Structure formats: C-alpha cells, structure tokens
Structure 1
Amino acid sequence: MSRIDATFARLRQAQQKAFVSYVMAGDPDPATSARILAGLPEAGVDIIELGLPFTDPMADGPTIEAAGHRALAAGGGVTATLDLVRAFRQQNDTTPIVLMGYYNVVFGRPGGVQQFLTDAVEAGIDGLIIVDLPPEEDAELCLPAQEAGLNFIRLATPTTDDKRLPAVLANTSGFVYYVSVTGITGGAAADAATIAPEVARIRKAAGLPVVVGFGIATPEAAEAIAGIADGCVVGSAIVKRIGEGQPVDEVLAFVRSLAEGAHRG
C-alpha cells in the first residue's frame, strides 16, 4: 500500500476528508521552504503537493507563477526540489508528497525520464501530477512512473465529459484531482453545489478518491468543498502569503485553519 493509499484509508477510518496543501519547492528560498515543508504535517496537512519550479506554468495564475520565478532565482530546480524532499524524509516517513509540474522539467533532466523517476523514488516522492501530458502520451511518463512505484494522478475538469473520462482515468492511481473551475489557479471561487454532481460522477467511474482543487481560499470554502468530495487542495492562498513575506509561523497558522475546515467537511 502506497503512502497515498494508506492516508486515504486512515482518513476513511477516522471519517475525515483529506486536506492537501500546495507549496512551491524552494519558495522564497531553500531554507524558508524547508521550514514550511517540515511544518505542514503538524499543521494538519494530509498530503503535500509540491510544485516543481518552471518558467512557463500554463495552468497556473500569477501567484504561483511568481512563486516559481522566486524559487528559480534562489537556485531552485529538480535537484534542489529532490534535496528538499530528502531532508523532509529524514524527519517524516509517512506524509505523502506529490510533485506537480510540467513535462519540460522532467524531459530536460540529465538522464531523461528514467533517471528522473529513479531520483524521485529514492528521494521519497509518492506521486506525480504532470499538467501538460494527456492520456495519449502515457507511454512518455505515466506508465514508466507506475512501473517505478509512483502514483500518477490525473486531472479531470468541468469539460471532461463521459466520452473523455475513461481515457483520463485509464492509468490514474492514488486519487483523481478535479479542477473545480475552468481557467488557471487562483481564479474564480469553487461552488460546492455545482461541483457535487461532477465529483459523484467521477468517483463512480474511477473507483478512487476525488480531491477538488482550484478556487478554494478560506477555511469555510475548504469545509464546503471537502463536504462533497474526498478532500480539497489549497494552493494560491497559501503561496500568496509566502510571497508577501509572512513569517513561517503565520503561514502555518493559516494552513492549520484550512486543514481544520477541510477535516470538518
């Protein structure tokens, strides 16, 4: 059983929903990023979604794009991200970490896909979300990742109809990430009433937990969305506070309030 599977099993037993937090690796600098990452589990985070810095993140809004640029300027990249995870794993061997990013970052790694996967597994990564690789390109990364023991988590969106959904779910594992709104991260607010039927449809087809992200910025929104899904993801609202230079303790206090909201869902 993977760390992701074990986490959802634990939450089901506790009758709780998952809280997933997104932060950009290396933002705003390696030392601060390491402190934030280390504090997330104690703040109530069940799964950490860790962004791989990239210059042109097409699915992300200005908040996360700026975080990636800050991380890159501070020396961030794949190697620095994996080093960050290795340091985290010295203290925490239970909280799942999912890398979220773009295929250019993986493809351009010295040694290519296989070396990236070897390094990711060794560092303690549990899953991948690669935004710009459709199911038609599963042989590029999805299938090799699963052979290496990593979950490959696919995005479903409001435009993923019943005809397209089987292809999206075919090689998905761990959970399905439902993008609650059309557009980029940090955009419109998610609406639980609108999302609920879509979550039910995808969960039935997938047989996997469905976690909802995009458009969730408050504890109240986290509670509402977690109430109709298996969990929720908050990213931009956290990253915004990091970008503003808020102290780590204040950032983690905000994360704790979001986690408490999700766990009430």
Structure 2
Amino acid sequence: MGSQRNLVGTRKFSWHTSPERPLFMKTHLLAAALATLALPTASYAAADVTINFATTTAIPGSNDFQGSLAALGLTRYASTGASLFLNGPATIMFEFLGSESGFNDTFSTSGGLTQTENSSYTNFFSAPLVIGAQSFSFGSLAGLLNFSSSGGIPATVGDNGFGIFLDPSLMSGSPVTTFYFGYDDEFTNQDDDYDDFVVRATVLSAVPEPSTWAMMFGGFALLGLSLRRRQTRQTAFS
C-alpha cells in the first residue's frame, strides 16, 4: 500500500511539475481563442440600403444614358422626397458612369471622396471609373452624398436635383446592395433628366458591430496570454 501511495503521489507531483502540463494548457487556451475569433462571422450588421419614395417618373428621352440605364433594368426615377437609408454600418464603393453637362459638376461624399467632370459628354457605362470607397454608419444618406456645380445648384438625397434610378418592379421600402443615381444641375427650369452626373453605388461589406470587435479583441488577448504562459513555463523548466 505504501508503494502504491508513493506511486500515486509521484504521478500527481509529476503532473503538476512536468513540461507536459503547460503544453496541455496551451492547447486548450489556443482552442478557446480560435473559437472566440470564429464567432464574429455571424455578428455583422446588415449590409444594404433601403430606397423609399412616394412616386416615380419614367426616365425621359432627353437623358443621354436612357438606353444604358434601360439595359440595367432602370427605366424610372424618384427624386424630391425620396430617401436612401443604410441599414447598418457598411462600406460603399462609388463609380462614375457618365455625364452630359455644360457645367463642371462634382460628386462628393461626407468622407472626402470627390470626382469632377469638366467635359460636355463622357460615357463610362462599359468601364466604370472608380471614385473610391467609404465607410458609413447606420442611417440616412441625405447630406452624405452630394452634387455641386460650377453653374448649377447643389443637391443631395431627397432634393429635386438628385434622382435615384429605379427598376419599375422595385417597391418603396425595398433593400438593395447596388443603386444608381444622377444629378440635374439646371439652375432654373430643371429638365429632370438626371444625366449631368451618373453614379453607381455598391455596398461592399458590412462593418463589424461593437460587440463583434469586443469578441475579436478578447480572442487576441486570450491567444497572447496562452503564448505568454507557454514561454514562462518553458523558462521555469529550462
């Protein structure tokens, strides 16, 4: 019995002091850290934009890009009172598709993206010109997407000079991940053709919510702690 007790005691002592224990702990801590880092994939905010409007109008023949827009299924537009609502933090990319204007018109965003056209006619529908991408928070895009002109009036979402091109089957309140809009820069007697500056916007990705960031940082901290403990244990047994 005495030899058995000594044997058990020796095994217990060996478990608490042997280099195998830090390896066992490190394996479990690392597994926990990786599990934590895997969680955020299901915790992203919604990545789409809701278009709201009361009425729509057919895109007129005076719009120089009527055919190109129709090829995309866009034959109507909404303007005054319409809205674009981002349903969660996300990154949006903007592309310049074309313009037909006697003025120098500019598209800009609240984050500093800007594109100016200074020719009477340009068409990039076949090969869109990337303006850039910007991260936005949840809410209305009014005042965040803007047009201005050297001789016309400025406009943002909801203004008469800002037209949102629509598929005729799209219902107000529908979420989309790609949307098209144009500018009417006429200072007086707006022609409502919205071809003075045409933009395509694409929601690229959702931005992680605050709780997701917390989980990510927690996972990295746990991973760092496990590696630090391993180094400490190795030093103690060397």
TM-score by length of 1: 0.19
**Higher fraction of strand:** 2
Relative contact order (C-alpha < 8 Å, sep 6+): which is higher? 2
Structure with greater proportional helix content = 1
In our comparison, the structure showing a higher alpha carbon Rg is 2
